[in-house]
Amino acid sequence: MDDVVIARALHVLAVVIWIGGVSMATTVALPAVRHGDLGADRFRAFQAIEHRFVWHARTSVVIVGLTGFYMTARLNLWERFQSAQFWWMHAMLCVWLLFTLVLFVIEPFILHRYFHQWATTAPDVVFAWLHRAHWVLLGLSVVTIFGAVAGSQGWSVF
């Protein structure tokens, strides 16, 4: 079972790097960018942080997905997806799918093309929405992590 132990360790390590970065972006970087603390050009300040972090996030999402599906297959946990008691398994999958969509589809194909234009036309509105979206993703992730750690130790709300 050493392989499952290693997969779990890699899974959690990647979650820490990824969601830790999302937390930093939401609670520290974005407020600083919005208030102009990193320079008057908010788009440039945001880009400088985002284009570096996006690769950490993408790599982590791939590792979390591979290790997550590996553990599910190896321990044959597919039945859990049919039970509400294991809501945190559904939550992990949903958070992973959501971030995969954001990082591999929305960011490169939509934000990369149109964000500069939006951010120069209505910067206050655009950065407020961006910040709100980060809070939603962070909130879902935090609940998921809490549920997964407690749930894998046998705790359940149902």
Question: For binding to ligand HEM (CB under 6 A), which residues are involved?
Answer: 8, 11-12, 15, 19, 64-65, 68-69, 71-72, 77, 92-93, 95-96, 141, 144-145, 148-149, 152
For residue 45 the two structure tokens come to: 């300040």
Closer Cβ to ligand HEM, 15 or 45, answer by number: 15
Whole-number minimum distance, CB 25 to ligand HEM, in Å? Answer: 15
In the complex, least distance from residue 62 CB atom to ligand HEM, rounded to whole angstroms: 10
CA torsion through residues 55, 137, 89, 143, sign: positive
| 132's tokens | 């709100």
Name the residue nearer to ligand HEM (CB basis): 77 or 157: 77
Contact 43, 123 (CB under 8 A): yes
Which residue lies nearer to ligand HEM by CB, 38 or 143? Answer: 143
Nearer to ligand HEM, 45 or 145 (CB): 145
Q: Taking the complex as a whole, how short is the minimal distance between the CB of residue 117 and ligand HEM, in angstroms?
A: 31
Burial 43-62, CB ≥16 within 10 A → b, else e: bebbeebbeebbeebbebbe
In angstroms, the CA 18 to CA 54 distance is 9
